[in-house]
Amino acid sequence: MCINLNFKKMKKTGIVLSCMVSFFMSAQTHDLVKHNGQKMAVNLIKQETNLVYFSMPNSTEVEKISKYAVASLTNKSNGEVATISNRINCEDKANFNEVVFLEQSQTIGLKKGESINSFFGVTKGQADYDVKKMKKRRLQEKAASLKSPFVVIVSEKPDETKAVLYQY
């Protein structure tokens, strides 16, 4: 009789615990809206500097996406909308200041574009800081003229810089 009573208590505790866990998991459900218009139902885990960590519903696998690819997150339980990043529109070369340099790890969820090069002849006595600044500006201008808001520098030599463009 004593064993049967303990089993019933354990069974009730297990049911209550599983209900609480399932409620907790459903409370984290969000709608993730990407800048390309794609909408996904996700369980938000955390946000770091340039990445958003999430899992798909009914999955425990942790996935990540660049914050630059995500427009907003909507909490399904209370309807609260959080803007993650604003869309960057590069229409022409004049908008080169809006182009953002990213690391390779920050491009998850963005579409890879073409590769570009920037050749730069260094004059004697020119400071390294000025040379790097001019190289980056030239890359930004090329990216803006190709309507790409993101640039990842792949290799950098004294006279040539290679980069890859990314879009939404």
The one-letter amino acid code at 126 reads Q
Q: For position 3, what pLDDT does the model report?
A: 55
Q: For position 4, what pLDDT does the model report?
A: 53
Q: For position 23, what pLDDT does the model report?
A: 44
User: What are the φ and ψ backbone dihedral angles of 124, each rounded to 5 degrees?
Assistant: -60, 135
Nearest to 30 by CA among 63, 70, 75: 75
Instruction: Express as a percent the part of the chain with pLDDT over 90.
Output: 49
- Cβ neighbours around 50 below 10 Å, total: 16
Radius of gyration of the chain (CA): 24
- Ranges in the chain, pLDDT < 70: 1-28
Decide: pTM greater than 0.85. no
> What gap in Å lies between CA 120 and CA 22, rounded to an integer?
58
Q: For position 20, what pLDDT does the model report?
A: 47
Q: E strands within 48-149?
A: 51-55, 63-66, 70-75, 81-83, 100-101, 111-119
Residues 6+ apart with CB under 8 A from 35: 68, 69, 70, 71, 85, 87, 168
- Cβ neighbours around 149 below 10 Å, total: 22
> What are 119-168's pLDDT values in tens digits?
877 777 777 778 888 888 999 999 999 999 999 999 988 778 899 999 99
Rounded-to-5 percentages of helix, strand, coil across the chain? 35, 35, 30
> What gap in Å lies between CA 168 and CA 154, rounded to an integer?
19
